[in-house]
Chain A
Amino acid sequence: MTFWPADFNPRDDVVANLDLAEMDTPDGAVRFIIGTDGVFADSNGDEWIGSSLIGASGLKSAINGIAPAGSVSLSFFQDPNAPDLVEQIRDLGLDYIKGRAIRFYTQPIRSQSEYQAPATPPILWLTRIMRTLSVKASGAQDRVITVGFESWAEHRRSARRIMLNTEGHAILTGSANPSLEFMPTTDTQEESLFG
């Protein structure tokens, strides 16, 4: 095997590894451990911050017509006394991550010592391009921040087309006009016309 180090057997009855994710941002790479707590210092000297609040969806490879879609999310309770994390993320904006890479690594652990003193650097196994940032709030304090990457509908929303609305008609005729402004967009009849 060339992927794993020669002395790591992924088919052992007992295996140990750490799932790592690295997000590229204008402020440099941000590194996380997915799904567990603690701080992991890898053999390159980089620190990976772990939190059991960080989760990743099932990650797919683009084979057999499956889109390489996925997402990583951070679910947490907003501490009312702490700065609002969602607001901070919004201030940074989507451009902070859009089009940048998120890289997934796996760190083979051959002995318990390697949690503290890893002998080999993390192994890159997946690179994706971050596209979306969404925030979900339920209740007063429960928040989920999700970074999505590379879905099957990737280019659908930004496809070049003329929509059937005022802007679309203006593009079609080449000048601004109020056509279609009052075009019904639903077929709901507020008052029934017949009977």
Chain B
Amino acid sequence: MQRRIITIPPGLLRFLSLDWTIDWRGQSTGQSNAGHSKLVYNAFPIWVGSPQVVLSDAGLAQWRAVNLQAQGRVGLYRIEMRDPIGFRIPGESRKGNAFSNGAFFNTGVGVAFQPFGLAVGAVAAGSEQMRIDVSPTGIAPRQGQIMSHDDWPFAVTWVDHVSGDIYDVGLQMPLRTAIADDATINLRGHGLFEATDDLMGRAEYNINRVARPRLSFREVLNR
């Protein structure tokens, strides 16, 4: 089947709770009576997340439109993995960035801002560290931050300041694609996810017209 990719508009989801993490997909034989266990890892690790979001009125209707476009588990969601603890831009508005004169588009929405850095030197797939130049934003990478390249997200495990805006960062999971020299690294990770359930995202609202659905996403490896 054709799996269309639906980009979730960055300002649409307001997160009540977030739990982006890596599922390493190990399988255990179970714990023995002596208390030890054997583990087998024979699958590629994937990102998973089940954020809870709050939606109201127009946003709720828009989410419904986004959700239904994905046709259950057929479509893929391209998700900006918001993570205020790991990365935030001071003073950033959910509406997007205003023009220099403070004005928004006449829909009331600003310009989407995608903070990015640049890879310094090519990095091979499977690498667990890379050098990154954050001069486009000037925001230093942080431990625990989720970044991505080419929609393959990874988290930062350690940061070492080299000079100026250049940092060495440790990565987990190990890079799944090679990164070319000077390639764009999204400082706020993007990933391609699928719903874990066809009914994922159904938003029940009350008389107060607010819904708090818990979404559930699983990264897609076969692209």
Contact = CB atoms under 8 A, between A and B. Distances in A.
A110 B43 CA distance: 13
Interface string B31-57: 000001111111111000000000000
Contacts of A16: 40-42
Given A15-B41, A79-B1, A112 B221 contact: no
A13 to B, nearest CB: 6
A113 to B, nearest CB: 4
Interface string A39-53: 111000000011100
B-side interface mostly: loop
Contacts of B38: 13-15
Given A37-B44, A112-B174, A14 B26 contact: yes
B222 interface: yes
A18 interface: yes
A109 B41 contact: yes
Contacts of A82: 1
Contacts of B1: 79, 81-82
B222 A14 contact: no
A32 interface: no
User: Which of A18, A38, A111 has the most B CB atoms < 10 Å from its CB?
Assistant: A38
A115 B22 CA distance: 15
Interface of B: 1, 24-26, 36-45, 124-128, 172-176, 221-222
24 contacts: A13-B37, A13-B38, A13-B39, A14-B38, A15-B38, A16-B40, A16-B41, A17-B40, A36-B25, A36-B43, A36-B44, A37-B221, A38-B44, A38-B222, A39-B221, A40-B44, A41-B125, A112-B24, A113-B126, A115-B45, A115-B174, A116-B125, A117-B126, A117-B174
